[in-house]
Amino acid sequence: MIFSFNSQVIIQGISGSLGTTYAPLIRNYGTSLIAGVSPGYGGSHIEGVPVFDMVEQVVLQHGPIDISIIFSHPYDVLDAATEAMRAGIRQLIIISQGVPPIDMIHLIQQADANDTLIVGPNSPGIIIPGKMLLGIHPPMFYTPGRVGIITRNGPLTYEVARIMTKAGIGQSIAVSLGSDSILGSTLPQWLQILEEDDDTDAIVLIGEIGGDSEEMAASYIRESIDKPVVAYIAGHTAPRDRRMGHAGTIIETQLGGFGPDLGTAESKVSVLKSVGVPVADRPSQIPDLIQRLLTPKRKARATKVRTELSAS
User: Does 246 qualify as catalytic in the annotation?
Assistant: yes
Q: Where are the alpha helices (DSSP H) in 96-175?
A: 101-114, 154-166
In 3D space, the residue among 29, 49, 22 whose CA is nearest the CA of residue 37 turns out to be 49
| Long-range CB contacts (within 8 A, 24+) of 276-283 | 276/222, 277/205, 277/218, 277/221, 277/229, 277/230, 277/231, 278/230, 278/231, 279/230, 279/231, 279/232, 279/233, 280/230, 280/231, 280/232, 282/232, 283/156, 283/159, 283/160, 283/163, 283/232
- What's the sign of the alpha-carbon dihedral 201, 235, 189, 150? negative
Of 62, 106, 137, 246, the catalytic one is 246
Q: Which residues, in sequence order, are CB contacts of 281 under 8 Å at separation 6+?
A: none
Give catalytic residues, as residue numbers.
246
